[in-house]
Amino acid sequence: MKQPLLKMQHVEISYAGKPVVHDVSLQMQPGEILGIVGESGSGKSTLIKSAMGLLGKNGAVTKGDIFYKSLNVLDAKGEDLRKMRGPEMGMIFQNTSASLCPIRSIEDQLLESVLQHEKVSREEVKTRALELFDKMRLKDGERILKSYPFELSGGMNQRVGIMMAMILHPDLLFADEPTSALDVTVQAQVIREMVQMRELFGTGIAIVTHNIGVVEFMADKVAVMYQGKLVEYGPKEQVIYHPKEAYTRKLIGAVLRIRRG
């Protein structure tokens, strides 16, 4: 078997000394898509932040181990992780517009993020960006690059966020509710682009979502969180169509009921 992309072993995570995530173990293989579901406050964001070393001042992994490939994430110095963010681990959040600088063009921000990690010319980055936009069938690449975030729709900003992650070809992408703030019509596009990222670059993706349809469409495996615990974890076919846990059945049932209504 190949070396896992991400391995969590009996992970406990605490804020200010109080555990909020308990005894989570999971593994992602290269190129795998993991869907993480569960109600608000169940620890989904905390879990993915821990793997990126982004828990913040009062957060810490208090038990267990996390490995990214062969790197022990918990032993890594902040600097090691900062270097890995981008070329190794990419991320997309619910609202890319908020994480972009409002007074700088998309082009400047894209350039900066690439030049932080690679010694290449401005022109080369631009060419690569336009090629990527083209591959993603994003029309009007030149115009998008010249735009400021406020000039683009929420959906377009989100797609730009994906491009910014994609241009560095990371091996692992964390996506925390990347479509929750989007209109239904744009949601599908964003999801398709993430799947394409896996197809083009072999990127493994851990995606937090409330949308079981998204999980059905893209995930290989599903992790169900409830009150800080991983209550069910396995291949999508098993977790979605043959859930073992009553909680998973309730969660899936609730979503389907809303969809039908």
Ligand X SMILES: Nc1ncnc2c1ncn2[C@@H]1O[C@H](COP(=O)(O)OP(=O)(O)O)[C@@H](O)[C@H]1O
Applying CB under 5 A, which residues contact Mg ion? 45
Give the residue from 185, 133, 198 showing the smallest Cα distance to 163. 133
- Give the residue with the Cβ less far from ligand X, 3 or 58: 58
Are 85 and 113 within 8 A, CB to CB? no
Name, in order, each residue with C-beta under 8 angstroms of 162's C-beta and a sequence gap of 6 or more. 92, 178, 190, 193, 194, 197
SS3 of 75, please? coil
- Which is closer to Mg ion, CB of 117 or CB of 229? 229
Nearer to ligand X, 94 or 147 (CB): 94
Task: Round to whole Å and give the CA distance between 147 and 90.
Answer: 23
**Rounded to the nearest whole angstrom, what is the least distance from the CB of residue 180 to Mg ion in the complex?**
9
- Whether residue 83 contacts residue 52, with contact meaning beta carbons closer than 8 Å, is answered with no
Shortest Å, Cβ 236 to Mg ion: 21
- C-alpha dist (Å) from residue 131 to 43, 75, 149, 155: 37, 38, 20, 20
Place of tokens 């989570």: 24
Binding piece for ligand X, criterion CB under 6 A, among 51-59, 126-134, 164-172, 198-206 = 51-59
Q: Between 13 and 110, name the residue whose CB sits nearer to ligand X.
A: 13
Closer CB to Mg ion, residue 94 or residue 147? 94
Q: Do 248 and 233 form a contact (C-beta atoms < 8 A)?
A: no
Within 160-179, which residues bind ligand X (CB under 6 A)?
none
Q: Which does 17 bind (CB under 5 to 8 A by kind): ligand X, Mg ion, none?
A: none
Residue 117 φ then ψ, to 5°: -115, -20
For the segment 56-85, give every residue that binds ligand X (CB under 6 A): 56, 58-59
Total binding residues for ligand X by CB under 6 A?
A: 13
Q: Which is nearer to ligand X, 38 or 64 (CB)?
A: 38
211 lines the binding site for ligand X (CB under 6 A): no
- Say if residues 30 and 205 touch (Cβ distance below 8 Å): no
Residues 25 to 44: which contact ligand X by CB under 6 A?
Answer: 38, 40-44
Query: Binding residues for ligand X, per CB under 6 A?
Result: 15, 20, 38, 40-46, 56, 58-59
